Amino acid sequence: MRNFDEHTITQAVIASLSATTNPRIRQISESLVRHLHDFVREIEPTQAEWAQAIEFLTAAGHITDHKRQEFILLSDTLGVSMLVDAINHRLPDGATETTVLGPFYVQNPPEFPNGANISAGTDGEPLLVTGSVRDTHGNGLAGAVIDVWHSDEDGYYDVQHTEAEGPNMRARLRARDDGSFSFWTTMPAAYPIPHDGPVGKMLELQGRHPYRPGHVHFMIGHGGFETLVTHVFVEGDPYLDSDVVFGVKDSLISRFEHLPAGPAPDGTVQERPCRHLNYDFVLAPAKT
Ligand code: BEZ
Ligand code: FE
């Protein structure tokens, strides 16, 4: 094993993997070497450019901690997260489409009853969210676990406020017996993904903005069904066609209706004008 040149090095590295006993690890390793070498052959980096690439990855590692995951942002902004999502969610007709989880999900959010306000004390336009969770035959899924989270009117999640006192604009609800659910909150806003690190620098060099259109995140689970990770996007948002993480699908864009003060669709009477989102989610059966 010696004297490799740019034409023979790839085969030599692949041959060195022949003792890999796990077939999946071998497949992934071989493919990685092939594609990575082809990439390098295509771009023909200078030594300085290759050193910059290593520095970029090193900076991504350094800025990453338990609250900030630069490698997920890199995967998101290069469209890899949505590609992995698409490959893993080839859904039956009628099932709600999926999109990225994003970095702001917090496990086991506070539980709220239907009808509750999950953003009490937060400034912003009041928003009533109603909807249902069903199977592909239209049957309501009683007790489905609905985790919801979104940004405030300035585009920040609770976890981004260092002085935050606890969870806000995030909740766990359970679908009623007929599969319906409802809660009050405030309107989310479009926001930039964290862009003060190497991924932000990359976007700048690529002439891209760091914004995502306004949306509400949902993670919905029920025994016997695939857990649905998705968002509902605000119709009319200026960033719908340039989401920096490529997460928008037509079926996930919804009207957030403007309602005047007075009776609201959930039977309450509102003193202020508000917005109303209604969305019916359909879960796919669990893969067997
Ligand atoms: C989000 O929607 O929360 C998000 C998704 C990907 C990257 C950054 C944020
Ligand atoms: Fe988000």
User: What domains sit in the chain, N to C, each tagged with a CATH number?
Assistant: 9-77 (no CATH), 80-282 (2.60.130.10)
The radius of gyration of the chain's CA atoms, rounded to the nearest angstrom, is: 23
User: Are the C-beta atoms of 146 and 175 separated by less than 8 Å?
Assistant: yes
DSSP-assigned letter for residue 196:
S
The rounded distance, in Å, linking the Cα atoms of 77 and 155 is 18
- Could you report the average pLDDT of every consecutive run of 10 residues in the chain (288 residues)? 92 97 98 98 98 98 92 97 96 96 93 96 94 98 98 92 83 98 97 96 98 98 98 98 98 98 95 97 94
Nearest CA to ligand 1 atom 9: 102
Which atom in ligand 1 lies closest to the alpha carbon of residue 217? 2
Residue 202: what pLDDT?
A: 98
Measured distance CA(205)–CA(189) in Å, rounded: 26
Listed in sequence order, the residues at least 6 apart from 198 whose beta carbon sits closer than 8 Å to its beta carbon are 56, 59, 60, 63, 70, 74
DSSP assignment, residue 67? S
What's the CA angle centered on 250, arms 244 and 253, to 5 degrees? 80
Query: What is the Cα–Cα distance from 218 to 81, expressed in whole angstroms?
Result: 17
Residues lining ligand 1, judged by CB closer than 6 Å? 73, 76, 100, 102-104, 193, 212, 245
Residue 235: the pLDDT is 98
pTM of this prediction?
A: 0.94
Closest ligand by atom to 247 CA: 1
Q: Closest residue (by CA) to atom 2 of ligand 1?
A: 102
Q: Contact 210/195 with Cβ under 8 angstroms?
A: yes
Nearest CA to ligand 1 atom 3: 102
* Distance in angstroms (rounded) separating the CA atoms of residues 215 and 279: 13
Compute CA distances 174 → 107, 110, 278, whole Å. Answer: 16, 12, 16
The Cα 29–Cα 35 span in angstroms is 10
Q: Please tell me the predicted confidence (pLDDT) of residue 287.
A: 87
What integer pLDDT is reported at residue 164 of this predicted model? Answer: 64
Whats the size of the chain, residue-wise? 288
Among candidate residues 190, 110, 97, the one with its CA nearest the CA of residue 150:
190
